[in-house]
Structure 1
């Protein structure tokens, strides 16, 4: 005996037709060109970015850089579309994979432009290289000078007979050496000679230079 299908519910049929019409409308809107009042899409700009995470102190090579297309309104100032323009330059701060490499990330004029008004860039060589490699650009540090003879009112007697003087407080780190490579470890680069570059007041720079000639320098890390 033939079996007859039950007629569909009118309400269900209406819902199916409405869903089909909405799907067609969405497709038409998606492929329709923008009208005269619609904003034009932003042009894409080629920007040089890091291929992988790179530590501070890295000398950039051709294999460290590539280009990526970014919307024009998010391209940072100081960027470039030519990786070759950055080859051979040294990173003053670490960069992440895919991050645009700008002038303020490099040792050079772009970095010095970050020195606050009224301050100067002062090199400071620490006695403990490991301490220097813990620091990164943007950190704030106090520089301490340890001497074998009493100093001024900021000195604090040490049980061993030495005194400690605070010669710079809250100094901004502009550049720091990279972490030293350890056998089997993840460090990259060399620790160098523990040289930091700090942004300080000119008077503080003079005190740092004088302390470096007679004292052992170290730092304590403060809030950025």
Structure 2
């Protein structure tokens, strides 16, 4: 036993011990209350919210299926604005741009039109003769695909009412534009775009 303890009255020792226990209890209560208030004020950050993520790398124009996405809980500060929270919201939809594995899918990542209910259509990638025209396009617009005029080759409409799925990033060869067309017209546009320059007219 410490020599000084002989000179401390037992009642004072018990009182100090009681005060220490009471202080610890008050601190625990304050911490518990603070945690409860944080959970109430920022419920999303504390618990997380269901968020749709890409299960693997996806190219622009991809038609989303169950194997392409997954759900995960993300805290509010890590969840981007417009993030989608249900798998039904993306099923059968077309991507407006490329997505990396694990990236949260938002509303602006989807093309303005659903891909479901149109089994007779196909998506065709084309590079326009005038790269500046691609700057005017946006997902969901309807355009007519035409061949550009060449010596001895009259201009003609290859396909009418094509739907712009997405417009790719600028590249040395020009932006890649994805168009959704009936399968019969899609084949024709794909073949001719390899032989002759093509462009589009906006409706």
Q: TM-score range by the shorter chain?
A: 0.3 to 0.5
Larger helix fraction of residues: 2
The normalised TM-score by structure 1 is 0.43
The normalised TM-score by structure 2 is 0.46
